[in-house]
Structure 1
Amino acid sequence: MTRLTSAASLRLAAIHQHLASRSPASSSSSNSATTKQHPTPHTPLVTRKNAAGDRHSFSSSKSDSSHVPQCPSPPEKDTPQLWTRPDTYRYWLSVQSRWSDNDVYGHMNNAKYYELFDTIVNKYMREECEEEEEVKSMGLVVHSECDYLKPMAGFPGRVVLGLATERVGRSSVAWRIGVWAAATQSQQIHNRDDLSGCHAFAQFVHVFVDHASRTKVHISPAVRAGAERLLVQ
């Protein structure tokens, strides 16, 4: 009986010693090691290419839509509608079409328009931009383009041209020309056929150079004053 009591006492003492050896610190570290770590939620990034091939990353969250850059509206000066309006132009010229202007389709050939552009620009410069004799500059055409809106009947009708200035630079002038048909055979510039509307509009750019060296020079005061009188603000 004494032996059984002694053995039970030894076993009980061993259990107490085992329980005492498990400290709160070790239990806490064990629990923290088994705790799952949840990733922080985030908004995914989307990578796209723009029209120029550049990569841009941006948040796919709808709340960031206000940060997307908006394309500004083009200024009115750059819109084709401006150059098809008669009130844009301040200098007018009525020109008689020629038999050779027409092509096999029965209307004025597109290449003939450029002869008309040369005519009205140079006529205006001779009348309104007369330079002093000692000024040795000349205007060279470095760019010209034309938008054809509708055919021009051509011979034997007349053509009414309008001239305006789009831009005056340090050494260059960008002219604008509008092309209308004439309502009748009258030579008057107010005989413009506004019912049929503008047939074509063009840009015609002069760069002024020295006569001898052909290097760029500043526009003379006479040319600048004449060009600015037709400037569209």
Structure 2
Amino acid sequence: MMIQRFIHIHISRRFNPITMTTRHLSSSSSSSDDLWLSSSYKFFLPNPTRWMDNDQFGHVNNTVYYSYFDSVINRYLIHHCHIDYDVIRGFMVQTQCEYRRPLQYPDVPVVGMFVRKIGRSSVTYNVGLFPSSVLKGVSGEVMKIMSEGLFASQLTKGTEDVNALAVGSCVHVFVDTRTNKPTPLPDNLKTGLQKILSNVESRL
């Protein structure tokens, strides 16, 4: 049985120094099967790979996936939640990722995301990295404005599910920029996040 090894990085909510633990995952993923299906996701944004993302084995290094997830989450917060980073900012306190298929430059994967939980000052996201075929049927005009992403309702209905290359989860704790202490989510942030809230089961 193939065993996949990766490093899980966790930062406590008190923002103590990073602690690192090693988890072992079998080739039969511990995450819910639904997490690997494109129909489970509420928002999609292409994220082109870069030449520098490839490692000596000729594929995108596993650590780079986290930067893709982080970029798409923050782009959503900017364009669809209208977050004001002068007032509030999100600290990423937990991330996880499971991998099934590799990426290579110059692939243009599509990051899907949904919100699993909205707390008082925290948000839990699920993310999936999909091949570009997940956007099959999207018009050229729509593709031109993809810098802001697409909601699932804008995708062609009736298309087959696309399987993810990797799936992950991320937790933000939002803090007051003046004190760096957790602060309640403002209404505009909660409203934007609720648009992609989902009850898809996740063990990530």
Structure 1 length as normaliser, TM-score?
Answer: 0.59
Partner of 2:94: 143
Q: Which runs of 5+ in 1 are unaligned?
A: 1-77
Paired residue for 1:118? Answer: 70
1:104 paired residue among 52, 56, 60: 56
User: In the alignment, which residue of structure 2 is the partner of 1:204?
Assistant: 170
Deviation at residue 195 of structure 1 after TM alignment:
8.0
Is contact 2:131–2:165 with CA below 8 Å preserved after alignment?
Answer: yes
Q: What is the CA-CA distance between 1:95 and the residue it aligns to?
A: 1.7
Flag the structure with more relative contact order, 1 or 2, with Cα contacts below 8 A and sequence separation at least 6.
2
| Equivalent residue number for residue 110 of structure 2 | 160
Structure 2 counterparts to residues 1-233 of structure 1, below 5 A: 79-131=31-83, 136-152=87-103, 154-183=104-133, 188=143, 197-233=163-199
Deviations 1:26-78 (A, max 9, x none): xxxxxxxxxxxxxxxxxxxxxxxxxxxxxxxxxxxxxxxxxxxxxxxxxxxx9
Query: Which string of whole-angstrom CA distances, capped at 9 and with x for unpartnered residues, describes residues 153-185 of structure 1?
Result: x2112111101001100110001110012249x
Residue 136 of structure 1 and its aligned partner are, at CA, apart by 1.9
SS of alignment partner, residue 47 of structure 2: strand
Report the equivalent of 2:3. Answer: none
Point out 4+ residue stretches in structure 1 off by more than 4 angstroms: 186-191
Name the structure where strand makes up a greater proportion of residues. Answer: 2
SS of structure 2 residue aligned to 1:144: strand
Deviations 1:99-131 (A, max 9, x none): 111112221110110110111000000011114
Aligned residues: 153
Whole-Å separation in 1 of the counterparts to 2:107 and 2:66: 18
Q: Secondary structure at the match of 2:63?
A: helix
Name the SS of the counterpart of 1:158 in structure 2.
coil
Root-mean-square deviation (CA), in Å?
A: 2.8
Paired residue secondary structure (1:107): coil
